Amino acid sequence: MLREVGEQRFAAPSPTMLFMEFRTLPEFGAFMAAWPSLLTAPRGRSRPVLVLPPFGTSDRYTQPLRLLLQTLGYRAEGWELGHNLGRTPAVVDGIPRRLLELHDATGMPVSIIGWSMGGVLARELAREYPDAVRQVIGLGAPFRMRHHDAHRSNASMLYEMVRGLQAEPSASMLLHEHERGPMPVPTTSIYSRSDGVVSWRACVDDDRPRAENIEVVGSHCGLGHNPAAVVAVLDRLGQPDGEWAPFAPPRGSAYLYPAA
């Protein structure tokens, strides 16, 4: 587990790392090749899962992951709010409603998987509605970057185009992550040191109970179909109700899950 990061200014990854984001295509091919073995994961028993897409994308981008989860028996659903343009008023109003609808329909707390900006939104949801959330799994989610630091990534040009659409942040969102206290639900942060979009350091959690960081080898744009990341996601979702233990990488997978 990585130690507390504290107050930092996170720089965008290098142009070389950004260029390497083209790995997302072979990563998707590896995901499809691994599909039969991924289906050997524990069954979902209709547990609800809400999947929030990365910035600039919609539910279509998370469809392969949701289809896998549905095949395994989870009630995996998208956010149904169109493209993720950040904390727009429509998103601020819509995702709590989506979460509570799924929670009420199933009578079970919801696991939230948030990819990139979706992971930042997922953590805010869990802080606001902890009784409705089972756990949060972030995929390259730069939650340590505060609202006004969003330009410090290789998606900054796209974010600046929609900055005027953003809702005003709450007072707590202006604080550094280490000042906000622990998350009220178990939290898994999956990240890659070769992330070409956001600083991997912005995606790691403090050393706290029921919080863990899982490093994988891969791109930012491919984390949702990176086989190593997906194996970790399935392991986290498959834990018995009311129990939580840190992820234990499969034996012989040191390359896929480097030591943090």
CB-count burial class (<10 Å; 0-12, 13-18, 19+) for 245: exposed
Give the integer Cα–Cα distance in Å for 90 and 86. 10
- What is the share, in percent, of the chain residues with pLDDT greater than 70? 94
pLDDT at position 154:
87
Per the structure block, which two tokens stand in for 44?
Answer: 């979902």
Which of 40, 38, 65, 70 lies closest to 51, judged by CA? 65
Give the Å distances, CA to CA, from 222 to 136, 157, 191.
19, 20, 11
User: Which pLDDT tens digit goes with each residue over 88-118?
Assistant: 999 999 999 999 999 999 999 999 999 999 9
Give the Å distances, CA to CA, from 133 to 99, 157, 187, 195, 221.
8, 33, 11, 27, 25
pLDDT at position 148:
55
User: Which pLDDT tens digit goes with each residue over 191-227?
Assistant: 999 999 999 999 999 989 999 999 999 999 999 999 9
User: Which pLDDT tens digit goes with each residue over 128-171?
Assistant: 999 999 999 999 999 998 655 655 788 877 778 888 878 788 77
Helix (H), strand (E), coil (C) string for 152-200: CCCCHHHHHHHHHHCCCCCCHHHCCHHHCCCCCCCEEEEECCCCCCCCH
Task: Let me know the angle formed at the C-alpha of 141 by 183 and 75, rounded to the nearest 5 degrees.
Answer: 75
**Residue of higher predicted confidence among 233 and 179:** 233
Give the integer Cα–Cα distance in Å for 240 and 47. 11
pLDDT at position 260:
60
Is the model's pLDDT at 183 over the cut of 70?
yes
Is the model's pLDDT at 21 over the cut of 70?
yes
pLDDT at position 10:
82
3 pLDDT band (50/70/90 cuts)? Answer: very low
Give the integer Cα–Cα distance in Å for 29 and 140. 20
Q: How does DSSP classify residue 143?
A: T
SS3 90: helix
Domains of the chain with bracketed CATH: 15-237 (3.40.50.1820)
Report the relative pairing of strands 133-139 and 110-115 from DSSP bridges: parallel
Taking residues 42-66, report their average pLDDT: 97
